[in-house]
Amino acid sequence: MTLPHGAVETPVFMPVGTQATVKAIPQHLLEELDVRILLGNTYHLYLRPGYEAIRRMGGLHRFMSWERAILTDSGGFQVYSLSELRKVTEEGVSFRSHIDGSSHFFSPEHSMDVQIALGSDIAMAFDECTEYPADYARARASLEMTLRWAKRSQEHFERHKHERPWDSAQGSENRAQEMRNQTPNLFGIVQGGMFPDLRRESAERLVEMDFPGYAIGGLSVGEPREMTREMIATTLPLLPQDKPRYVMGVGYPDEIAQYARMGVDMMDCVLPTRAARHGLLFTSEGRLNIRNRQYAEDQGPPDPNCGCMVCRRYSRAYLRHLMVAQESLSAVLNTLHNLAFYVETMRKVRDELLALSF
C-alpha cells in the first residue's frame, strides 16, 4: 500500500495505539521493530486530548512524533463497547463518556470530521458492529444501516478530505510539497453477522460504492474460531483482489498467518500488547506464561528462535523477576518481544507468498 505517510508491505499486522501510544513502547522502538503502520482509536482520542486540540497541533502524526502511517477506526466499536447510555438512531449514536460521563454524539459525518482532523492515512467508515449472537432480522437491519452510514461517510469524507492537518508538514520543502498532494483514504466495512448470504450482500453493495480498500468487521466478537474463518472465506473472494482487504480485531499468531495466506492484507489486535502486560509471551514454541515458577532460574532467552532485541539480551529468569516484582520494564520487554514475534510472523508469510508468485 502506498499511503501519505509511506509505503506498507502487505500482509501486515498493525499494532494498536489506543491513546496515541502502543502501550509501554516508545515510537523509536516501534521503528526499530520495523512497524510501518499503527492503529489509533478515534473514540479515545476524540475524548482525550480532543480532536480539535490534535488538529491544532498539526495532527496525530506530529503530536505523537510518528512519521509512518496511521489507520484510525471510526469510533463506533468503542462507543458500543465502552461508553454508557448509548442510543443508536438512524442519525447516529449518542453516548456518555466512560471517563467523565459527559454527553456526546457520533454520526457518520462527525466520525469523518474527527478522523480527518487526526490526519489518519486510512479512515474507516462509521459502521454498526453487529453483536454476537444476532438473529437474521437483526443482522439484516444492522447491515442495512451500516450501508446507509457508509454512503454518508463516503460523501462527507470526499467533500472534506482536503482538510487533513498535515499541510504544514515539517521537514524539507520537498517533503512539505509532497504532503500537500496527499489525501487520506476511506475504507468501507462489510458487516452481516454470521450469515454468509448477508456477508455476500454487504460486500457486493459496498464494492459498488468503490472504496480504495475494504474491511471485514463484526468478527472476533465472541463467535467460535471456525465461524470467523468461514465468514472470512465467504467474504474475501467478493472483495477486489487489487485493493487492501482488512480483517478487524484478529488474532493469535497462527490465526493471522492463516488469514494472511487466505488473502487478508491487514489485521490489527490488542492481543500481543495486552497479553504481554499479563506475562503471556508468544513464541515459536507456543505460548509461554513468564510468571510461571519454572522460569525462576531459566537463563535461556524467552524464545530461542527469536532474534528480537529482548531475546538477544535478556533471560526468562529476568523477565519473570520483573513481572513478579511488578516493575514497569516488565511490560516494555514483554510487549517488545510479542510485537517482534507478530511482525516476524507476517514477514515470513510475505516471503512465502513472494516465493509462490515466482
- Contact between 71 and Zn ion per CB under 5 A: no
- Contact between 308 and Zn ion per CB under 5 A: yes
Minimum distance from CB of 303 to Zn ion (Å)? 5
User: What is the grid cell recorded at 6?
Assistant: 509511506
- Per CB under 5 A, the list member of 337, 338, 346, 349 interacting with Zn ion is 337
Nearest to 11 by CA among 284, 247, 252: 247
Sign, CA torsion 71/76/81/85? positive
Minimum distance from CB of 77 to Zn ion (Å)? 30
- Contact between 316 and Zn ion per CB under 5 A: no
One-letter identity of residue 182 = Q
Residue 351 designated active-site: no
Where does this chain touch Zn ion (CB under 5 A) — which range of 42-50, 54-62, 148-156, 311-319?
Answer: 311-319
- Tell me the C-alpha distance between 263 and 10, whole Å: 10
Nearer to Zn ion, 25 or 308 (CB): 308
Nearer to Zn ion, 3 or 24 (CB): 24
User: What is the grid cell recorded at 143?
Assistant: 447491515
User: What is the grid cell recorded at 161?
Assistant: 478530505
- Contact between 61 and Zn ion per CB under 5 A: no
- Tell me the C-alpha distance between 272 and 335, whole Å: 7
- Tell me the C-alpha distance between 139 and 130, whole Å: 6
Nearer to Zn ion, 182 or 315 (CB): 315
- Contact between 343 and Zn ion per CB under 5 A: no
Nearer to Zn ion, 59 or 272 (CB): 272
- Per CB under 5 A, the list member of 206, 311, 332, 339 interacting with Zn ion is 311
| Helix locations, 161-265, DSSP H | 173-180, 196-209, 225-235, 253-262
Sign, CA torsion 37/43/49/53? positive
Where does this chain touch Zn ion (CB under 5 A) — which range of 16-24, 183-191, 229-237, 297-305?
Answer: 297-305
- Region 134-173 residues binding Zn ion, contact defined as CB under 5 A: none
- Contact between 12 and Zn ion per CB under 5 A: no
- Contact between 16 and Zn ion per CB under 5 A: no
Nearest to 50 by CA among 88, 128, 4, 104: 104
Residue pair 302/316 in contact (Cβ under 8 Å)? The answer is yes
Nearer to Zn ion, 60 or 311 (CB): 311
Q: Which listed residue (73, 113, 121, 303) is catalytic?
A: 73
Residue 268 designated active-site: yes
- Tell me the C-alpha distance between 220 and 231, whole Å: 11
- Beta partners for 69? 37
The pattern of x and - marking residues 219 through 258 that bind Zn ion according to CB under 5 A reads ----------------------------------------
Nearer to Zn ion, 127 or 303 (CB): 303
Residue pair 61/5 in contact (Cβ under 8 Å)? The answer is yes
Where does this chain touch Zn ion (CB under 5 A) — which range of 31-39, 142-150, 221-229, 296-304?
Answer: 296-304
- Beta partners for 123? 72, 186
Residues annotated as catalytic are 73, 268
Interface ranges with Zn ion (CB under 5 A): 303, 306, 308, 310-311, 337
